[in-house]
Amino acid sequence: MIALITDFGYSEYIGVMKAVIYNAHPNARIVDLCHTVSPQCIIEAAWILKNNHKYFPSNTVFCCVVDPGVGSERKAVAVQTDSCFFVAPDNGLLWPTLEEHKNVQIREVPVPDDASKTFHGRDVFARAAAQIDAGGFDKIGPAIKNIKRFRFHLDNKEGAIVRVDHFGNIVTNIPKLEKERYSITLKDKVLQATFYPTYSQAPENQLFLIEGSNKTLEISVKNKNASQQLNVKPGQKIKIM
């Protein structure tokens, strides 16, 4: 199985990547994990991968294409772990996930001379994912020891906005406290918000906090878009206490 994570939206780029995979590996099974990562947002892609890859079958190949450095000197890498495989640009996207795994082997994926300078998803990563899914990890490229490291900012009660989801919920990496009222510091704003266990318990048209499916705090507005109301984006620091 090959699982795709991109920031391509639902565009022709996804269809072309799938076509390349099927041409190389007709028996592949492909799952669209997420194509709505905010454009060029490595932190959001890393969060999605870290929290969702564990639900997939063993030996799934995660093809992750959020690549603001496409066409530059950054490496393309393939990784084998104790349970699955990854293909991605070497920009830190994989590191929070790889910290959870053992027996990590890393290989550099060669970039063909004729590869597009703007679409390595098609010309590099889709081909590599197909080769790995067909059993060819050991022939994908030379072994290397290190890849770029990245960690989500978390210092006491100051963390980061790691995702803005389809509903406009502001996802943080900060775990909840056993309290009902919280203070939120975001840029130069200080807000007060109440914690509710479910969306149905929250009042209309009011910012509130809820524990999301990944056991961290999220800022929401019932039936509305919290990210638009606060004008935030992934990567910004936030304090909740």
CA distance 87 to 138: 13
Look at the chain and report how many structural domains it folds into.
Answer: 2
Using pLDDT thresholds of 50, 70 and 90, give the confidence band for residue 187: confident
Asked, for residue 150, whether it belongs to a domain, the answer is: no
Asked if residue 110 belongs to a domain, the reply is yes
Q: Are residues 82 and 180 in the same domain?
A: no
Which tokens sit at 159?
């963390």
Give the number of other Cβ atoms within 10 Å of residue 1's Cβ: 15
Last residue of a domain, one of 88, 117, 144: 144
User: pLDDT per residue over 200-226, tens digit each?
Assistant: 999 998 999 999 999 999 999 998 999
Query: Is residue 31 domain-shared with residue 87, that is, in the same domain?
Result: yes
Domain match, 137 and 175 both: no
Average pLDDT, the chain: 96
- The whole domain housing 220 covers 158-240
pLDDT tens readout for residues 69-117: 999 999 999 999 999 999 999 999 999 999 989 889 999 999 999 999 9
What is the separation, in whole angstroms, between the first and last Cα of the chain?
41
CATH assignment at residue 115: 3.40.50.10790
Q: Are 110 and 88 contained in the same domain?
A: yes
H-helix or E-strand spanning residue 85: strand 85-89
Rg (alpha carbons) of the chain, rounded to whole number: 19
- Nearest-angstrom CA–CA distance, 107 and 140: 7
**For position 102, what pLDDT does the model report?**
85
- Residues 119, 194: one domain? no
My answer on whether 73 and 133 are in the same domain is yes
Which residues, 6 or more positions from 160, have their beta carbon under 8 angstroms from its beta carbon? 43, 152, 153, 154, 172, 173, 234, 235, 236, 237, 238
**Do residues 105 and 200 share a domain?**
no
Give the tens place of pLDDT for each residue, 118-171.
999 999 999 999 999 999 999 999 999 999 999 999 998 899 999 999 999 999
> Are residues 15 and 74 located together in one domain of the fold?
yes
pLDDT bucket at 188, cuts 50 / 70 / 90: confident
Is the distance from CB of 125 to CB of 88 less than 8 angstroms? yes
State the burial class of residue 185 (Cβ atoms within 10 Å of its Cβ: 0-12, 13-18, 19+).
middle
Out of 83, 112, 144, pick the residue that ends a domain: 144
pLDDT at 50: 97
Q: Are residues 49 and 139 in the same domain?
A: yes
Write down which residue in 144, 172, 198 finishes a domain: 144
Residues 60-74: b if buried by 16+ CB within 10 A, e if exposed: bbbbbbbbeebeeeb
